[in-house]
Amino acid sequence: MSDPRFSSVLASRFEGYIALQRAAGADYRNPTKRLAAFDRSLCREDFRGPWLTQDIVERYIRSLSHLACTTRYGIICLLRRFCTYLRQFDSDTYVPDLASQRNTQARPHLHVITEMDVVVLLQAALQLPPPGSLRPMTAYTLFGLLYSCGLRIGEAIGLDLADVHLSEQKLFIHKSKFQKSRWVPMSHSTATALGRYIERRSTLFPATPQDPVFVHLRGGRFFQQNVYNDFRQAMRQCGLRGGKGSPGPRIHDLRHAFASHRLLTWYRQGRDVNALLPALATYMGHACISYTQTYLHATPELMQAANERFHRNFHVNILTQGDSQ
């Protein structure tokens, strides 16, 4: 699909900025569409330049009031980056202040999924109908992979058979979010479960290395909506979610659980958590460590482990200081 055309007096600046982002490795299809919308607004305003003023930028921001808070805030962040880019050509360019535009919408309530919840969920997945079909095993293996490897849903259902290296116990994730490809190691138990599923799946639907790992009942690639439906049904079966419209854990909370449980394990092992966070960010495919930090939540178990670590270190420091006096 070709890029939208830019027609305002800033057309060459829009195109130059997008080219710069793509040269840095960004996909930039969605931001390009959003910048094109701003370009059309400038045309409607009969904007002639020579620089973007506070009035015209904030008038466009007010026109976004009908959008969801998160969407609106993302567009404002994009405008800020573009205006910062323009300022190198004209120092009078207005750059919107994010502090006054901060997203005040509450984030979706996080349901902390425990290890026991995961066990119960996987057992419920094996009971999904129809009995004897591939569906229960697909849900069981997919949910387990999302939790044990911290994958995004799109990454898991996007796996082809050629991306699975069972003998080496690792997966290859092609360009995912942030255009990052990476190898994802698996535990022995995860690789074993995935291998059993692939064997069953290949018996029912013979496939080439380029065919998908996870398939629906007709043998085609699993869609995200399939995943959501199976997850909600399994959650209701095991009592972790109520009826329709009842709040409950989201499937993306499995990725949150992976990160939090990994952090808890490191605390209990006495590992240097701060030094290991960059490794966790790389494993999860994040562009920077700050994205990983949003996945780390102060669960009671995590707070207890951190508190015990503090007291141990504090006690050692007190004894050391006492010996040196």
* Residue 267 pLDDT: 83
Q: Compute the distance between CA of residue 280 and CA of residue 266 in angstroms, rounded to an integer.
A: 11
Which one-letter amino acid corresponds to residue 74? G
Residue carrying structure tokens 């969407």: 71
Q: Rounded CA gap, 59 and 264, in Å?
A: 47
Tell me the C-alpha distance between 236 and 229, whole Å: 11
CA–CA separation, 34 vs 12, rounded Å? 16
CB atoms under 10 Å from CB of 87, counted, come to 15
Sign of CA dihedral 6, 9, 12, 14: negative
Range 11-101: architecture per CATH: Orthogonal Bundle (1.10)
First and final C-alpha spacing in the chain: 73
Which residue ranges does the chain devote to CATH 1.10.150?
11-101
DSSP at 183? E
| Residue 169 and residue 159 in contact, taking contact as beta carbons nearer than 8 Å | no
**Which CATH number is 108-325 given?**
1.10.443.10
Predicted model pTM: 0.65
Residue-level pLDDT, tens digit, the chain, 325 residues: 578 899 999 999 999 999 998 887 777 888 999 999 999 999 999 999 889 999 999 999 999 999 888 788 889 989 999 999 999 999 999 999 876 665 544 455 567 789 999 999 999 999 999 999 999 999 999 999 999 999 999 999 999 999 999 999 999 998 776 667 899 999 999 999 999 999 999 999 988 999 999 999 999 998 888 899 999 999 999 988 755 555 678 898 999 899 888 988 888 888 888 888 888 888 888 766 666 766 665 555 655 655 565 555 544 444 455 455 5
User: 131: cis peptide before it, omega within 30°?
Assistant: no
Instruction: Provide the total of helices (H) and of strands (E) in the chain, helices listed first.
Output: 13, 3
CB-CB contact of 228 with 236 (8 Å) = no
Catalytic residues: 152, 177, 252, 255, 286, 295
Query: Where exactly does CATH 1.10.443.10 map onto the chain?
Result: 108-325
CB atoms near residue 154 (< 10 Å): 12
